[in-house]
Structure 1
Amino acid sequence: MRISKGIGTVGIALLLAACGAGETAREANGTVHLESLRIKLDALMADSCNSEPESMKPWQCEKYVTQLANMATTLTDAAESGIERLAGPGQRMTAGVSEYRAARCAGTSPVSEDKCVAALTQIADAVAAAERAIGD
């Protein structure tokens, strides 16, 4: 009986500690950390869809483009919260993602593979611009 009561007490303590940690994470969640952005951009730059878009089938880059759409939103949020130099790269990423999707590049029958490569190249240029804007 004592053991189960002790386990229950420890369990409640852990839950309460987790709740407190959740509030802290939530408060910090609205803050954009440039180091985190730099790490994500480095990972995106290493992707073949970024470095060699012409060698990829357009549909193979769907996940990459989805990640870039999310990054574009993050860059826009960062620009709105005071890091204005990230606005341009964020807008260019959004435009490239829109072109990729408008050309139906995620499917097996895109409007034009050339349009898909152009969109991926535009996105890659925006990734490089974002990395330059963040700096070292």
Structure 2
Amino acid sequence: MRISELGRVIGIVLSAATIVLLAACGVGDVGREVRDTVDLRTLRIKLDALSSDTCHSDPGSREPWQCEKYVTQLGNAATTLQAAGETGFPKLAGPARRMTAAVDAYRNAGCVRQDVAKKGECVAALNDLADAVTSAKQVVGS
């Protein structure tokens, strides 16, 4: 076999391997049930911890940018609540949607900046987050 033929064979083999790998990537996450990964006890603990934050209990007493970590954690919690709402705990879907909307409102108002001009909108978003956390806690039994 000449070098050019060997190169062609290697190219074909590599192309075939690439096609197989790309096809496997398109399969996605099959057979995984989110319900198996949502532990209500853990969720309850997370919601209790978040509700003890000053950003939850008295958002007006903090500068909005000081609540950025709290809001980020609630954004993650909203994803978990949404997954739980879709896989066996439908009453969590409402608080999850409200939480996501409030996180978006906080971010869209630029609340992470120290010179935020829309402090009222930021406090309103934080109050909406607090209400959503309280609703979620009621559903999970905290």
**CA offset at residue 132 of structure 1?**
0.4
1:51 correspondence with 2:51: no
Q: Structure 1 residues 29-38 or 99-108, which shifts more?
A: 29-38
What amino acid does structure 2 have at the position aligned with 1:55? S
Deviations 1:19-74 (A, max 9, x none): xxxxxxx9999521110000000000000000010000000000000000000000
Equivalent residue for 1:116, pick from 118, 122, 127: 122
* Structure-1 separation of matches of 2:133 and 2:45: 12
Dislocated runs of 4+, deviation >3 Å: 26-30
If you compute each CA radius of gyration, which structure gives the higher value, 1 or 2? 2
Name which of 74, 84, 87 aligns with 1:78: 84
**Alignment TM-score, normalising by the size of structure 2:** 0.74
Number of corresponding residues = 111
Structure-1 separation of matches of 2:141 and 2:55? 23
Residue 89 in 1 paired to residue 95 in 2? Answer: yes
Pair 1:128-2:134 in alignment: yes
Could you say which structure has the higher helix fraction?
A: 1
Identity of aligned residues (%): 55
Residue 42 of structure 2 is matched in structure 1 by 36
Q: What is the TM-score of this pair, normalised by structure 1?
A: 0.77
Structure 1: tracts of 5 or more residues without a match: 1-25
SS at match of 2:112: coil
Note closer, same or farther for the CA distance 1:82–1:99 as it changes in structure 2 (3 Å cut). Answer: same
CA RMSD of aligned residues (A): 1.8
